[in-house]
Amino acid sequence: MFALSAAALLSVTAVAASAEDAESHTLELDTVTILGTAEALDRVSGSAHRIGEETLERNQHDDINRILSQVPGVYVREEEGYGLRPNIGLRGGSSDRSQKVTLMEDGVLIAPAPYAAPAAYYFPLTTRMTAVEVFKGPSAIQYGPQTIGGAINLVSAPIPAQTSAMLNVAGGSDAYRRVHARGGGDFGGFGLSAEAVHLASDGFKDLDGGGDTGFDKNEVVLKASRDIGPGNLRLRLGHADELSNETYLGLTDADFAATPNRRYAASAEGRFDWDWQGARLDWSQPALGGNLNLVGYWQQFDRAWRKFNNFRSADIRAVLANPDDAFNRVLYETLTGERDSDPSNDDDDLLIGTNARAFISNGVQGELDWELGRGGQAVHLLEVGLRVHSDRVRRDHDEFAFEIFNGNLQRKDSSRAITADNTGFAQAFAAWVRDEILLGRWTLVPGLRVESISVKFTDRLNQVSSRDDYTQVLPGLGASYAWSDQLTLIGGVHQGFSPATPGPQAEVEPEEALNWEAGVRWRSANWGRLESVAFYSDYSNLTSVCTFSAGCGNAVLDQQINAGSVDISGIESGWNHEPNIGGGWSLPLSLTYTFTETEFQETFSSANPQFGDVQAGFELPYVPEHRANARIGLTAATWSVNLSATYQSQMRDVAGRGPIPDGQDTDEFTVFDMAASWDATPALRVQAQVNNLLDEHYIVSRRPFGARPGLPLTAQIGLTYSFQP
């Protein structure tokens, strides 16, 4: 089944590409407008940011977490150090598997099943992207289904107008390697391009007994376009795959302090294997006095994650939290391979299973926009969009018993246990209308989104099925006022929404929040651009989908958990400037900061271990109170050097209030990254990068099992050759 929706991002991205040449800073707020001019910037309502191609090339990050560190109001919870499966949250929304963010590539949803199973176990390689756009507040209402926090759009390289090609190769620490090739052009009226990326590493963690802890990831994208009459037809085909030797198993605090990059012997079977295929067909043309964009898309994602699940006789979290307890000590030494399993006793069995899932997502979406009233008192930039969408997830989870002998895992002669066998299915119809009204110094942007959703769930293991149908009406209003040529006031309110996921419950309430924001934008030729926005989200029902990465057990895995009323508020600010300092040199500067407060308004007990027994007044887990990023660079005609510092305060691992107890916190950290480039010739660029320059060791997460490290010091060097006849 197919889906139709607002694709304003498609026209936005086209404007953004031209605006990029004029200005390519971290905060490029003007790119969300249709006009793409400095004057239009000051009329924009809602908070929106763009990291452009020049900034991406300066820093050469393959990790989306590091790219997003420069955007205020964005939170990331690192996991394996490389950003393979990012955990992104916006404005205090849950970061677990980015399930509360609308993720798109070129305006099309990319989560494996955005309605039925929104957890983002698939994420494209940012290596091939030319921009990253972030939309929050009223500016995100047309990019559903997740509209509470906002949306992130990845912008891929367009088909070049002239024949050109590019080859990038790089190598570095831990056998890091990257090969990225792209080429295309216009061939007799046909636009064609091909792009391929190979990214791999042997990993920075040291497995007890030896073994690979790295990953191998590939993506191929083919594009074609043809002008037909007044319109343009575009075809895209893609394939991606990954094999990563990853685990959810962390360390005790004592082991982390001694050897933070260690991996226990029990994690040796960890392996994440997936394949993705996708196709889309775009058509655009003038229509009905405006511009019409239509997109049909299909995506299939198959994954299998073999991982350590638990002990048969004890909770792994309790063992890691207190390994010196007499009973826990036996299990801990089995976990690490220091002690052989007792073949006469099943209590020390290690349970290792594979979570296999198959996803299909497809749809048709369309958007029609007009400019009305030019020359009159008010100008209306009207957009209307529709999407018809369906997606499905099929889960097949199993578990086997293993033992440890001589430090190596051995599977026991026991039968396969099925832990999950179910299917979730969702169909959705979405429609929206947005009118940007330009009236003197005022810009008013009323909008309305409607989501009509049908979900079904079939649990073959427990012989349970359910179905639910509901419709949400989501209004919003943004406004901006140009106080002067330099100062603009902005504000807005909208009804945020996150769809309920299919599960065994017959009726599950969706997540809803009334979201407010107000702030200022200031720009000066001499002092750059500044934006500061205060936000407040009044959740009537905060929800989470219980994932294994959050520590949820088989009994509630992938079920929606309700957390009731929650208040989230904060301030996000960003400033950037690139002054010329003489001699052909410039000094790129930027600073972003986010402050966030969260508070549960109800007392309840939750099956989600990140919530647990909650009292009114508790704070949400995994939302840092403070997060900041500072960047400084030095750029000349043929070279540049850039230094970045990212700071994040402690985060709670479990909901609570007051001082965070030991063992329930992540570390406060400041991490420095450096990147440099030199154009040896007009066609050849040499690039070098050092991540975590001071080799900081810090706990980024305790989910699901134990302390887990951020990326240590790593270095890469590469060459980029560009060809254009």
Cis bond before residue 230 (omega within 30° of 0):
no
Would you list the DSSP string of 418-446? EEEEEEEEEEEEEEEEEEEEEETTEEEEE
Would you list the DSSP string of 527-571? TEEEEEEEEEEEEEE-EEE--GGGT--TTTTT-EEE---EEEEEE
Inter-residue contact 112 to 301 (CB < 8 Å): yes
- Determine phi and psi for 194, rounding to 5 degrees: -135, 145
**Token pair recorded at residue 344:** 């006469």
Element (DSSP H or E) covering residue 631: strand 626-635
CA-CA distances (angstroms) from residue 627 to 52, 92, 550, 669, 710? 22, 12, 22, 10, 16
- Tell me the pLDDT band of 507, cut-offs 50, 70 and 90: low
CA-CA distances (angstroms) from residue 313 to 310, 319, 350, 483, 622? 9, 11, 9, 66, 29
**Token pair recorded at residue 518:** 């107000």
Inter-residue contact 453 to 55 (CB < 8 Å): no
Choose among 675, 589, 677, 686: nearest CA to 637.
677
Helices and strands per DSSP (H, E), number in the chain: 7, 40
Helix, strand, coil shares of the chain as percentages rounded to 5? Answer: 10, 55, 35
Place of tokens 């955007």: 71
Distance from the first to the final alpha carbon of the chain: 44
Over range 364-370, report the average pLDDT: 95
Place of tokens 């008192």: 377
Query: Which neighbouring-strand residues pair with 168?
Result: 180, 720
- Determine phi and psi for 238, rounding to 5 degrees: -145, 150
Domains of the chain: 8-157+200-249+258-312+349-723 (2.40.170.20)
Give the whole-number percent of the chain exceeding pLDDT 90: 78
What are the residues whose beta carbons fall under 8 Å from the beta carbon of 529, sequence distance 6 or more? Answer: 25, 27, 29, 521, 522, 523, 575, 576, 577
Given this model, what pLDDT does residue 383 score? 94
Choose among 170, 382, 221, 190: nearest CA to 288.
382
CA 688, CA 176: separation in Å to the nearest integer? 13
Phi and psi based region of residue 94 (left: phi greater than 0; alpha: psi -120 to 50; beta: remaining)? beta
CA 665, CA 347: separation in Å to the nearest integer? 30
**Token pair recorded at residue 233:** 């037809």
**Token pair recorded at residue 391:** 């997606």
Would you list the DSSP string of 231-258? EEEEEEEEEEEEEE---SB-B-HHHHHH
CA 470, CA 501: separation in Å to the nearest integer? 12
Question: CB burial class (10 A; 0-12, 13-18, 19+) of residue 688?
Answer: middle
User: What pLDDT digit, counting tens, does each position of 588-604 carry?
Assistant: 999 999 999 999 999 99
Over range 67-91, report the average pLDDT: 93
- Tell me the pLDDT band of 35, cut-offs 50, 70 and 90: very low
Given this model, what pLDDT does residue 165 score? 97
Given this model, what pLDDT does residue 630 score? 97
User: What pLDDT digit, counting tens, does each position of 184-232 carry?
Assistant: 999 988 999 999 999 999 999 999 999 999 999 999 999 999 999 999 9
Tell me what the pLDDT averaged over the chain comes to: 90
Place of tokens 């099956």: 607
Q: What is the DSSP letter of 32?
A: G
- Reduced to 3 states (helix: H, G, I; strand: E, B; else coil), residue 407 is coil
Phi and psi based region of residue 677 (left: phi greater than 0; alpha: psi -120 to 50; beta: remaining)? beta
Inter-residue contact 407 to 265 (CB < 8 Å): yes
CA 255, CA 321: separation in Å to the nearest integer? 11
User: What pLDDT digit, counting tens, does each position of 511-557 carry?
Assistant: 999 999 999 999 999 999 999 999 999 999 988 888 887 778 777 77
**Token pair recorded at residue 240:** 């991606």
Choose among 112, 2, 5, 103: nearest CA to 389.
2
- Tell me the pLDDT band of 562, cut-offs 50, 70 and 90: confident
- Tell me the pLDDT band of 694, cut-offs 50, 70 and 90: very high
Choose among 647, 603, 643: nearest CA to 629.
647
**Token pair recorded at residue 630:** 């500072």
pLDDT over 50 (residue 499)? yes
More confident residue, 546 or 6: 546
Give the whole-number percent of the chain exceeding pLDDT 70: 93
User: What pLDDT digit, counting tens, does each position of 335-364 carry?
Assistant: 999 999 988 888 889 999 999 999 999 999
**Token pair recorded at residue 654:** 């479990």
- Determine phi and psi for 444, rounding to 5 degrees: -115, 135
CA 591, CA 581: separation in Å to the nearest integer? 19
Strands 417-439 and 379-405: antiparallel
pLDDT over 90 (residue 457)? yes
Place of tokens 């299917």: 423
CA 7, CA 369: separation in Å to the nearest integer? 10
Given this model, what pLDDT does residue 13 score? 32
Phi and psi based region of residue 43 (left: phi greater than 0; alpha: psi -120 to 50; beta: remaining)? alpha
Q: Rounded to two decimals, what is the model's pTM? A: 0.92
Residue type at 658?
G
Choose among 442, 340, 350, 468: nearest CA to 400.
350
Place of tokens 């039925």: 116
